[in-house]
Chains A and B, each alone.
Chain A
Amino acid sequence: MVRYQQGDFAAATVLISHISPHLHRFFLAKSMSRTDADDLLQETWLQIHKVRHTYRHGEPALPWFYAIARHIRVDHYRKSIRAAAGERELGEMSKGAFSAPHQADELEALLAPLSESQREVLALLKVEGMSLEEVARATSSSVGSVKQKVHRAYKKLRETLGVKPPRKLRSGELA
Chain B
Amino acid sequence: MKDEEIDNLLKKAAQAPRDLDPLVLQRIGDSIKSSLHPVRALTPVWLMAVGLVLVCVAVSLAGAARAGFFGIAKMNMPERLVIFPALGLLACSVAVGFVHQMVPASRVRVSPGALLALSSVALLAVFALLFSDYHTDHFFSVGITCLFTGLLHAVPAGLLGWLMLRRGYAVNPGAAGLVAGTLSGLAGVGLLELHCPNFQVAHILVWHTAVVPVSAALGALLSWTFARRPRP
Q: How many residues of A contact B (CB 8 A)?
A: 64
- B contacts, CB < 8 Å to A: 1-3, 6-7, 9-14, 16, 18, 20-21, 24-25, 27-29, 31-33, 35-42, 101-109, 111, 167-169, 171-172, 175, 228, 230
Query: Chain A 100-114, CB within 8 Å of chain B: the 1/0 string?
Result: 000101110010000
Q: What total count of A-B pairs have CB within 8 Å?
A: 148
CB contact under 8 A between A107 and B13, given known A41-B28, A46-B31, A67-B105:
yes
Q: Say whether chain A's binding surface is mostly helix, strand, loop, or mixed.
A: helix
Q: Are B6 and A20 in contact (CB under 8 A)?
A: no
Bound-state CA distance A127–B10 (Å) is: 7
Q: Are B13 and A64 in contact (CB under 8 A)?
A: no
Q: Are B104 and A68 in contact (CB under 8 A)?
A: yes
Which 8 pairs of residues, A with B, have the shortest CB-CB distance?
Answer: A107-B13, A127-B14, A63-B105, A67-B104, A106-B13, A64-B105, A53-B39, A71-B171
Question: Hey, which chain A residues are within 8 Å of B38, CB to CB?
Answer: 5-7
Partner of B32, one of A46, A103, A110, A157: A46
Question: Hey, which chain B residues are within 8 Å of A52, CB to CB?
Answer: 39
Partner of A57, one of B24, B41, B171, B175: B41
Question: Hey, which chain B residues are within 8 Å of A105, CB to CB?
Answer: 13, 16, 18
Question: Hey, which chain A residues are within 8 Å of B107, CB to CB?
Answer: 133, 136-137
Q: Are B27 and A42 in contact (CB under 8 A)?
A: yes
Of B2, B32, B37, the most chain A CB neighbours within 10 A belong to: B32
CB contact under 8 A between A154 and B3, given known A6-B38, A12-B36, A60-B105:
yes
Q: Are A49 and B32 in contact (CB under 8 A)?
A: yes
Bound-state CA distance A82–B32 (Å) is: 29
With A68-B171, A103-B18, A126-B11 given, can you name 6 additional A-B contacts, CB distance below 8 Å?
A59-B105, A66-B105, A67-B171, A110-B13, A140-B105, A162-B1
